[in-house]
Structures are given as structure tokens and as C-alpha cells.
Amino acid sequence: MSKAAQIVKVRTSDGIDFDVSLQVAEQIGLIQSWLQQERNENNLPSCDDTDDGNIIFLDRVTSGIFELVLKWCRQLIEVPMPMLGWKHNDDKNNLFQTILNQENADDSTMFELIIAADFLNIESLLHAGTNYVAGLIATCNSVEAIRKRFHVVVHGDFEEE
């Protein structure tokens, strides 16, 4: 992290580097923990961008999914929840759906985003994502409808009673 620029360097599993503002990075629990550990050890990273020791590696998140994570975090910064009166999770759920719609995301991307939210420890994103999926499931009127909606294929000796 460059102290002057307040930037955290992040590298995704597909080798793409991101410069993330400290304000955004502190919303990501995994990065926040790393920064706190570095501060506690008085071992703040130097400004030398060529040193891989100053890069946070996200071995379970691809660049495409990380861009969606950053979009979520930036949106929460731009429009603070208390100012909007975000008393219900509906606003977060709507934001989650808006991000998916803007990216024309499919179910696979949606699930990857939820898994990334869990790995990165972003509770608001994880909660909105799981609520969104629960809403999709609630619109299905049978197990078969759920299977069809999420393209679940049953193999083997499994039989319904």
C-alpha cells in the first residue's frame, strides 16, 4: 500500500493486478484483516510496486468477479446506506440485481460472486446475494421447477418419493 496514494495492490487468480483505493479496500474483510495485521506489525508495505510482497493475492477470485465486487463496494461508498434510509435489505437486494443486470450476468456469474463475497468476507454482498437466490427459489413452485431454473441434472440412483 502506498501511504501517499492510499492504494492497495490486489492480484486476482488470473494474474490481473488492481489498484484499489483504501476506502474501497477497507470494505473487503479479507483485505481489511491483512491491512490491520500489517499495521499491527508496523510493517507497512513500501511504495515499490515491483515487490510482490506488497500485493494481496486473491487466489480464489477471478478479475471479472473482482470487478463486480469493486462495483458493489464503490456503490456502497457513493450512496451511503443511512442517507437512503436502507432500513430493509430490499435496497441491497435491488443493488445486487442491478449489478447483475448491468453485466448481463448468468447464474454461474451470480454464484461465483456469492462465493467471492464469502471468501472476501463482505457480509453485505454475501447477504444480498443469498437473499437474491432465495427469492429466485421462492418463485419456483416445485423441486422440479428449482432444478429447471438452476439447470440441475440428477444422475445416479436418486429417485423421488
pTM of this structure: 0.80
Tell me the average pLDDT across 103-118. 95
Give the CATH superfamily of 7-138. Answer: Potassium Channel Kv1.1; Chain A (3.30.710.10)
Q: Is the pLDDT of residue 95 over 80?
A: yes
**Residues 18, 143: Cα–Cα separation, whole Å:** 41
When mean pLDDT is compared across 29-38, 62-71, 109-118, 151-160, the lowest value belongs to: 151-160
**Domain range summary for the chain, segments of one domain joined by +:** 7-138
pLDDT in tens, 39-75: 777 655 544 445 566 789 999 999 999 999 999 999 9
Q: Confidence class of residue 1 from pLDDT cuts 50, 70 and 90?
A: very low
Contact 96, 129 (CB under 8 A): yes
